[in-house]
Structure 1
Amino acid sequence: MPEPLTDEYLKETQRIVAAAPTGPWAVEPNEYGLPDQVGPICYLETWADTQRIPVVEFIAFAREALPRYVGEVARLKDRVRELEVDALQSVTTGVERDDC
C-alpha cells in the first residue's frame, strides 16, 4: 500500500497543477489523423499507433482529473481532522455525538 500523502506533497502537487496551462487539453491529430498534440504538449513520437493513443488520452484526462483528486484528498483530510477533534472532545467530556 502506498504511503499516506503528506500536506506538503499535496501543496506541491497543487502548485504544479496551478502552474500548468488550464484545461481541458484536447488531443489534436496530425495530418494522418493520429494523435500529435495534447493541449500545449507537442511531440515527435516513434511508438506504434496502438500504444500512442492510450498515452495521449491519459495525459489529456489527467489534466482535469489530477486537480479533482487532489482537492478531494484535501477535503477528506480536513474531514478526518474534524472527526478526530470531535472524537477527542467526546472522550475528554464523556459526551457522545450521533450526527455522522
Structure 2
Amino acid sequence: MSDAVLTEAQRIVMKVPKGPWPVEPNEFGLPDQVGPICFLETWSEAERLPVVEFISWARDAVPQFIGEVARQRDQIRRLERELKAARNEKAGASRG
C-alpha cells in the first residue's frame, strides 16, 4: 500500500460519521438501515443480513486496520533506519 493510498483511506474514513452503526429494522422487521445508510437491498434476501452486518462491522474495523497499517509502516521505517545505522557503524569499525 502506497503512502498516497493510505493517506486517502485515512481522509475518507475521517469524514464518515462516527460509529458504531447499529443495524435497524424496517416496519416489517427486516434489516433496513445501518447508521446513516438506509433502504438497503441486495439481490438475495439470504445475503441481506450478512451484508448489513458487514457494513456495521466495517465502520469500526476499517479505521482500526488503517491505523494498524500506519503503525506497522512507521515501525518498519524505524527498524530500517536502525539497521542502516548499525551497518554503517559496523562498516566504520571494520575500516578503522
Give the TM-score normalised by structure 2: 0.89
| Secondary structure, counterpart of 1:47 in structure 2 | coil
Gaps of 5+ in 2: 92-96
Q: Residues 79 and 27 (structure 1 numbering): CA distance in 2 closer, same or farther, change over 3 Å?
A: same
Which deviates further from its counterpart, 40-49 or 28-37?
Answer: 40-49
Give the letter for the 1:39 counterpart.
G
Q: How many pairs were matched up?
A: 91
Higher Cα Rg: structure 1 or 2?
2
Q: How does 1:4-83 map to 2 (within 5 A)?
A: 5-45=1-41, 47-83=43-79
SS at match of 1:31: coil
Whether contact under 8 Å (1:34, 1:49) holds in the other structure is: no
Report the CA distance between 1:35 and its aligned residue.
0.5
- Residue 70 to residue 44, structure 1, CA distance change in 2 (3 Å): closer
Give the gaps of 5 or more residues in structure 1.
96-100
Provide the rounded CA distance (Å) in 2 between the counterparts of 1:92 and 1:58: 49
What is the aligned-residue identity percentage?
A: 55
Greater share of helix residues, 1 or 2?
Answer: 2
Moved over 6 A (4+): none
CA RMSD, Structure 1 to Structure 2 (Å): 1.4
